[in-house]
Amino acid sequence: MTISPSITSPERRPVRLVGLLPWLFAAVVVGYAMVVGGYAATVVSFALIYAVFVTGLNLFMGFAAQVSFGQNAFAAIGGYLSAVLTASHGWAPVPAMLLGIAAAVLVAAIVGFPTLRLKGHYLAMGTLAIGLITYEITVEWQSVTQGYMGISGIPPFGIGPYEVTSDRGQLILLSLVVAACAFAAARIRRSRFGRALSAVAGSEEAAMALGIEVARYKLLAFLLSAGFAALAGSLFVHVVGFVSPEVFGLHMVIVTFTMLYVGGIGTVAGPLVGALIVSLLPETFRAFKDYQDLAYGAVLIVLLIYAPRGLASLFSPRGRS
């Protein structure tokens, strides 16, 4: 990196435009899915739901540089509360979703308070346990969750008499939610709150020495992340109309981690780019038949070698923006 005086305006322009590329890519993919509809719309819908989840994960893992293998627990809480309240108790989707988010944040506060005293690998193990326990509960608490059978007949998302049932309607709704989440992440990034998270990520000791209450900011990032996870869980059950324990299992942890790292951990656009790429790649290689997974894996490795800080970081002037 060369030491040059602050960037002058003629140089700054292209940098800004390049920064828009990830968003343009996302818009093109969503637009394509809207035109084509059908299977493509389903794949992109799932990708957008994952993008909400990963945006939250990124606040905790990217902005604050902590580790959690257990955010799927909060998606499960959001998803199951939405499912049970709307399908079994006749609630409207919006209040059920809000209650689900509130419940997930509350559980995150109760669980996070002791768990966040752990660091590094220990925090990873502790949070993994949260996910596993929640999975067991969704399997065993049959009177409410119906175990492996799952809950079906969940109504589509809607407000009052308006229900979002079409593929296009769902894509528009999900795009709006993702845009709102990315907007929130961008605003957090450039605020006193976001800087405090970056400080915790950079050096906990230096942060403490500057008066930042490290434990408090870690917990807040964890709660936010849980809120996003619950929102994603709730969106999922309304889009699919069905939920079972497998939906929020270990598979979700692995997929969302891949999305976060491929897209660009710590960036604002990374979660969305990662969610789209990781969802679309296996589809792209469908023609490879038996070798589909092999090709998918190979591409992931190449991506992580040539863009170790994720695809979105390629388009930002600094490693993280």
Partner 1 sequence: MTRLRLEGVTRRFGGLVAVDDVSFDVPAEGVTAVIGPNGAGKTTLFNLISGFLPPSAGRITFEGRDITGRPPAEIAAGGLVRTFQLVKLFEDLSVLDNVKVGCHLRGKAGLFAALLRPASARREEQAVEARSRELLAFAGLAAMADEPASALPYGRQRMLELARAMAAGPRLILLDEPAAGLNTEESAALSRIIRRIAEDGTSVLLIEHDMTLVMNTADRVVVVDFGRKIAQGTPAQVRADPAVIAAYLGTGKPSADKPAVQEAPHG
Q: Which of 23, 193, 242, 296 lies at the binding interface for partner 1 (CB under 8 A)?
A: 193
99 contacts partner 1 (rule: CB under 8 A):
no
23 contacts partner 1 (rule: CB under 8 A):
no
> What residues between 221 and 260 interact with partner 1 by CB under 8 A?
224
195 contacts partner 1 (rule: CB under 8 A):
yes
Query: Based on CB atoms, which residue is closest to partner 1, 101 or 196?
Result: 196
Question: What is the smallest separation between the CB atom of 73 and partner 1, expressed in angstroms?
Answer: 22
Between CA 296 and CA 280 the distance in angstroms is: 10
Q: Please give the single-letter amino acid code of residue 67.
A: V
Name the nearest CA neighbour of 235 among 158, 130, 152: 158
**Binding region for partner 1 (CB under 8 A) out of 29-37, 77-85, 197-205, 293-301:** 197-205
Using CA atoms, how far residue 166 sits from 38, 235, 288, in Å, is 10, 15, 31
Q: How many residues does the chain have?
A: 321
CB 268 within 8 A of CB 189: yes
| Residues in binding contact with partner 1, number by CB under 8 A | 35
Query: Based on CB atoms, which residue is closest to partner 1, 87 or 185?
Result: 185
Question: What is the smallest separation between the CB atom of 312 and partner 1, expressed in angstroms?
Answer: 14
211 contacts partner 1 (rule: CB under 8 A):
yes
Contacts of the segment 87-92: beta carbons below 8 A, 24+ positions apart: 87/151, 87/152, 87/153, 87/154, 87/155, 88/151, 92/158, 92/159, 92/160
10 contacts partner 1 (rule: CB under 8 A):
no
192 contacts partner 1 (rule: CB under 8 A):
yes
220 contacts partner 1 (rule: CB under 8 A):
yes
Which tokens belong to 71?
Answer: 């955010």
Q: Which of 196, 231, 260, 268 lies at the binding interface for partner 1 (CB under 8 A)?
A: 196
Distance of CA 25 to the CA centre of its chain: 18
Question: What is the smallest separation between the CB atom of 203 and partner 1, expressed in angstroms?
Answer: 4
9 contacts partner 1 (rule: CB under 8 A):
no
Q: Which residues contact 320 (CB under 8 A, 6 or more apart)?
A: 266, 267, 309, 313
64 contacts partner 1 (rule: CB under 8 A):
no
Residues 302-321 vs partner 1: string with x where CB under 8 A? ----------------xxx-
DSSP 110-166: HHHHHHTT--HHHHHHHHHHHHHHHHHHHHH-HHHH-GGG-EE-PPPPEETTEE--S
- Applying CB under 8 A, the residues found at the interface with partner 1 are 1, 3, 5-7, 184, 187-188, 191-196, 198-199, 201-203, 205-214, 220, 224, 266, 318-320
